[in-house]
Structure 1
Amino acid sequence: MKRLRMGLVGTGSWASATHAPALAAHPDVEISGIWGRRPDATAELASAHATTAYADVDALFAASDAVAFAVPPDVQAPLATRAAAAGCHLLLDKPVATTAAAARDLAAAAEGAGVASVVFFTLRFAGPTSAWVAEQAATEGWFAGRADWYGSFYAADGTSPFSSPWRARRGGLWDVGPHALSVLLPVLGDVTGVTAAAGKADLVHLILRHGTGASSTAALSLSTPAKASGVTVELRGEAGTVRMPTGGGALDAFHRALDALVESARSGRPHACDVRFGLRVTEILALAEEQLPAG
């Protein structure tokens, strides 16, 4: 079968280190071009991968069968909505948007155009963690869970490659919150109630009720002191207590996400991490945000 012509939107650190190399290496994908908000960076990244630098994003969509996004969520949502309307399959970053309304518009556009979509929730595609989530989702009798994301990688002085205005503005709730929900929901069921409370700096605590009757908690931060940082996902139930393993690089995980999009585009079968799941995650985070103090 012919390779999927895939465009890339974005030229930042994720696009350069993960998205573009994975697209270039994938046997079922041909990079159709790159568009970014900085023309110089767009030209440099396009040259590195022997593809076209586009000044007009709609021209990139017209030249592509699918588009991968590596831009902030508030930039991604309206552009991806336009890409779907142009008939492009979507490989989206998390969160798909930072408002429920924008996420609903995107999901409606994808459904209306009949395009495939995959949201790159890293842990759902990294080998060890994706296998663990699948195993726990097939196990019954879960009583409670917790997902603690105490990140320290955000540097306000801009020294971290992950520093960005949108992370500084939205904090751990929106950046690592999607990771927590991406592993809790498949195992414990959809969220039927959420309570949120603010901690120090950007720390947010969530208490979640799930459709299975189980409950969970989440602690979400990007600004934890380095010596106190760490990630823990733990489940308790009739099978005992289990913890999510670590391991699996972002590049390998993104390659698996590409596999999933190619398969969904060719088969017409939706993926579990499609834009509708991305919408649900956004809705839950938006409900939590409403309960927090402004700013």
Structure 2
Amino acid sequence: MTRTKVGLVGTGYWARQVHAAALAVHPDLEFVGIWGRDRERADEAGAPHGVPGYDDFDALLAEVDVLAFAVPPSVQSELAVRAAEAGKHLFLEKPIALDLASADRLVAAVDERGLSTVVFFTSRFVPVWENWLDSIAAAGVLGGRADWLSSQTGKDNPYVGSAWRRENGALWDVGPHQLAQLIPALGPVVDIAGARGVGDLVHLILTHEGGATSRMSLGQGMPKSAVRFAVEFYGEDGWSSQPEDPRDVGKAYARAVDELLANIAAGETAHRCGVHFARDVVEVITRCEAVLGRR
């Protein structure tokens, strides 16, 4: 069986620890190489997996069928359009862009060429959580809440130096993860209210199509004693909380890649976590930001 040729765009922590590690061992992939602006860093990222680094994006593009991205959203949205215009299938990170116009350009480029895409909303590729979401949606619940309150302030945190996270805050970084669970369960967001707290802390109340409501609290500068991760829904049968599961990011990534490859083989462009859904998430976050005001 011919393996699908894949390249990776990005040389940072997430690119090395998650993307490269998973791409290198996937049995149906031929890992071609890693692109980065700094050739030395690209070579260093590829060395553990025996693949070369590239500092010429078009050179890597010419060698692959699929490109995986692990770069800041503003970089991803530009380079992914170029990849789509070259006819490459895409494995993307959330958010796919930091503004709606860029997200729309990417969707248009993908649609024009009939490409397959998957966006790595991690929780949507953990089977026990995905099955739970399906059951929640089928039950017709009244509302829900999603909290992501983390502490990324320590000097040992791998994301502490991430400029795009620092500039755009928890709303753009972890908001997509929570929306990727609220929207499938409760429906599209039709109205938003909210307020800012200390630092990047935000509180949002969402009204969904059909009348269900949800609340999100997002922040990444919390004291360690206040860290909280929770997704919960309520209805006539009471509250239902996201099942406990030791989230294995590597397994979730492999499942997402499997689904992308299956779609490519079938000539299928639709996916529950494809660019169309990811574009809608960007739209909701953009509307949230308009309600909250820029930081």
Q: Distance in 2 between matches of 1:40 and 1:134?
A: 45
User: Which amino acid is 1:265 matched to?
Assistant: I
The answer to whether the 8 Å contact 1:128/1:248 transfers is: no
The answer to whether the 8 Å contact 1:7/1:33 transfers is: yes
1:178 aligns with 2:176: yes
Q: Aligned residue for 2:292?
A: 292
TM value normalised by structure 2 = 0.96
Q: Distance in 2 between matches of 1:273 and 1:73?
A: 16
Aligned residues: 292
Q: Per-residue CA shift, 1:171-206, capped at 9, x if unaligned?
A: 110011001100001110111111231111101111
Q: Structure 1 unaligned runs (5+)?
A: none
Q: Aligned residue for 1:107?
A: 107
Q: Structure 2 unaligned runs (5+)?
A: none
Q: What is the root-mean-square deviation in Å for CA atoms of aligned residues?
A: 1.3
Q: Aligned residue for 2:254?
A: 255
Q: Could you tell me how far 1:158 is from its partner in structure 2?
A: 4.6
User: Which amino acid is 1:184 matched to?
Assistant: L
Q: Distance in 2 between matches of 1:158 and 1:59?
A: 36
Q: Aligned residue for 1:146?
A: 145
The answer to whether the 8 Å contact 1:196/1:289 transfers is: no
Q: Distance in 2 between matches of 1:23 and 1:273?
A: 19
Q: Aligned residue for 2:18?
A: 18
Q: Distance in 2 between matches of 1:118 and 1:286?
A: 21
Q: Aligned residue for 1:125?
A: 125
The answer to whether the 8 Å contact 2:149/2:228 transfers is: yes
Q: Distance in 2 between matches of 1:236 and 1:120?
A: 27
1:145-224 equivalences in 2 (<5 Å): 145-152=144-151, 154-155=152-153, 158-163=155-160, 164-224=162-222
TM value normalised by structure 1 = 0.96
> What secondary structure, in the 3-state scheme, does the structure 1 residue paired with 2:211 have?
coil
Q: Aligned residue for 1:72?
A: 72
User: Which amino acid is 1:30 matched to?
Assistant: E
Q: Could you tell me how far 1:268 is from its partner in structure 2?
A: 2.3
